[in-house]
Amino acid sequence: MASPFYFDEGRADRAVEFFSKFIRLVSAEWAGKPFVLEKWQANIIRQIFGWRRRSDGTRRYRRVRIWVPRKNGKTELMAGIGHLLTVGDGEQTAEVYSHALDKSQASIVFDKAVRMVELSEQLADLYEVTKKGLFCPQLMALFQPLSGEAAGKHGLSPHAILGDEAHEWKDDRLHHFLIQGMAARRQPMDIIISTAGEIKTYGHELYLDSRAILEDPSLDPECFVAIFEADPEDDWTDPKVWAKANPNLGVSVKREFLESLCKKAQQNPRFENDFKRYHLNIWVEQDTRWLPMRMWDKNTAYPKDQDLWKKLPAMMKGRRGYAALDLGSTRDITGKIWLFPPEDDNGRFVLVPEFWVPHDTIEQRDSPRTPYARWVRIGALKSTPGNVTDYDFIEEEVRRDIDDREFQFANSEAGLAYDRWNATQVLVHLQKDGVPGVPFGQGFASMSAPSKELERLFVSGRFEHGNHPVLRWMFGNAVIAKDPAGNIKPDKARAAEMIEGVITTAMAIGLWQNDAEEGDINDFLRNPVMVV
């Protein structure tokens, strides 16, 4: 059976030639030079404008999805395609619209298109620049940016829509609204060019659809897909991986630029996700993953001893340290941690955590990703009776730290750090038993310094966590909030899952820092502490 499509070499060649003949580049050292497409760009243009339908000779592809990292010239490519569809298609009364999260973002593509008109005599002869956009009197065609809302778009009849940075879109309303307006057009084109973003978003849904079509074009023969990306399992620090994801490496993407960003991301884990998203096109689970989990095994002297965490409490018996408690809500995990600093500047900080969860919530939370039942079975997560957190049970566990494990608070001023928000009842009871409480604010003022120290210690491999599985899960979940002054703190609201172990670690570090600032740390270091 003959294919319903054929490839027209002449049309493909003319589409590529349109760029070098009519369009001038607008950025950096290329400004004013003819837009000679790179090989990868030319291949995309040839595909989407060369393939035709045997039935009527119109274009095969009605949808185009291009996923490419930043700095690979996607904005100029999108603007050039906009001109080709506005004045190069010969479509009478063509309406071409750039759209994005908002009008400001949509105008980024359009502003490039206007600048191209200013630099090209050929385009300048075809267009009139108006307040609303570009207008071609000869074809009665227009090219305009749109705001990010569907409201007010009735009556539009797009010949083409150019969607930018789909990873930022909040939903599909405007996109679908514009698609519905294309019904009267002979060969409409819906184009999206974007970088990667966060999973579980509309943009990620579009990407997953694109990925499926790329792997099996028969799912949608009218959709052309090009994806330039690294695999999540790739070594993101390897320059070969950079080349895999960046088709314009060595042209608009400077190798020195990526080297600098990669080095920064390795030194500061807050930038790792940005590097993966924007420069390797890897979709990420969280907007700003905080801690580089490749360093987890570096933070223990015995990475193969998966039960070391069970031994640490006995090994720390009688030691002096810093403790913190995060009660959370009555149906969440409650966390407590003891931090035992090293006896010298090069040793490890030993972490002894405990976590509790209401017994009746275990089954509904249990999954391969969150194996609550297994964690309870091995003792890494303890269940309290009922369907809400039993604070009396937790109070007894804290008392056991003092009475049975003989953990000691570092000094008379440093007690059990707690969040004022909902720990009052527990701390009142504990203080009656001689357990001092230290209210610890959860704002930037209190949390930023210990959070930055936590980050520094983790990246340096200075913790001994004993391979605790729940603590590992929480460190992997951690994301941060940042304020304009550069302060940071763990952000429960934006984390995909629980991070109580991270918050309590930061609070305990805060107590230790307060001691160090007052000089008490020198006295503490004179007391021997086990260094794993």
Express as a percent the part of the chain with pLDDT over 90: 64
Calculate mean pLDDT across residues 142-150: 85
Cβ proximity of 410 and 320 under 8 Å: yes
pLDDT on residue 263: 92
pLDDT on residue 532: 29
pLDDT on residue 331: 65
pLDDT on residue 522: 36
pLDDT on residue 528: 30
**175-189: pLDDT as tens digits:** 998 999 999 999 999
DSSP conformation class of 91: -
Residue 150 scores a pLDDT above 70: no
Question: Which range has the worst mean pLDDT, 74-88, 292-306, 504-518?
Answer: 504-518
Residue 153 scores a pLDDT above 80: no
Provide the residue type at 258 as one letter.
L
Residue 421 scores a pLDDT above 90: no
DSSP conformation class of 59: B
pLDDT on residue 521: 35
More confident residue, 386 or 253: 253
pLDDT on residue 268: 75
pLDDT on residue 424: 63
Calculate mean pLDDT across residues 455-460: 92
| CATH 3.30.420.240 residue spans of the chain | 293-525
Calculate mean pLDDT across residues 117-142: 94
Calculate mean pLDDT across residues 249-262: 94
Residue 336 scores a pLDDT above 90: yes
What average pLDDT is seen over the chain? 88
What whole-number distance in Å separates Cα of residue 245 and Cα of residue 229? 4
> Which residue, 509, 505, 514, 513, is CA-closest to 335?
505
- The pTM of this model reads 0.65
**43-95: pLDDT as tens digits:** 999 999 999 999 999 999 999 999 999 999 999 999 999 999 999 988 999 99
Q: What is the widest separation between alpha-carbon atoms in the chain?
A: 89
Question: Which range has the worst mean pLDDT, 83-92, 142-151, 158-167?
Answer: 142-151
What whole-number distance in Å separates Cα of residue 370 and Cα of residue 121? 62
Residue 327 scores a pLDDT above 90: no
pLDDT on residue 519: 46
Residue 489, helix vs strand vs coil: strand
DSSP conformation class of 207: H
Q: What CATH number was assigned to the domain covering residues 293-525?
A: 3.30.420.240
pLDDT on residue 127: 96
Calculate mean pLDDT across residues 234-242: 94
Residue 490 scores a pLDDT above 50: yes
* Domain at 5-227, CATH class: alpha beta
Q: Please list, in sequence order, all residues whose beta carbon lies within 8 angstroms of the beta carbon of residue 244, skipping any fewer than 6 positions away.
A: 228, 229, 230, 234
More confident residue, 359 or 519: 359
Q: Dig out the tokens for 250 from the structure.
A: 């060595």
Residue 465 scores a pLDDT above 80: yes
Residue 282 scores a pLDDT above 90: yes
More confident residue, 472 or 346: 472
pLDDT on residue 120: 95
pLDDT on residue 524: 33
C-alpha angle 22/27/28, rounded to 5°? Answer: 130
Find tokens 């060369």 and name the residue: 50
Residue 293 scores a pLDDT above 70: yes
Calculate mean pLDDT across residues 491-514: 91
| CATH 3.40.50.300 residue spans of the chain | 5-227
Residue 302 binned pLDDT confidence (cut-offs 50, 70, 90) = very high
Phi/psi of residue 113, each to 5°? -65, -40
**182-230: pLDDT as tens digits:** 999 999 999 999 999 988 788 999 999 999 999 999 999 999 999 999 9
Calculate mean pLDDT across residues 471-488: 89
Residue 14 scores a pLDDT above 70: yes
More confident residue, 328 or 518: 328
Cβ proximity of 269 and 476 under 8 Å: no
> Which residue, 193, 233, 163, is CA-closest to 68?
193
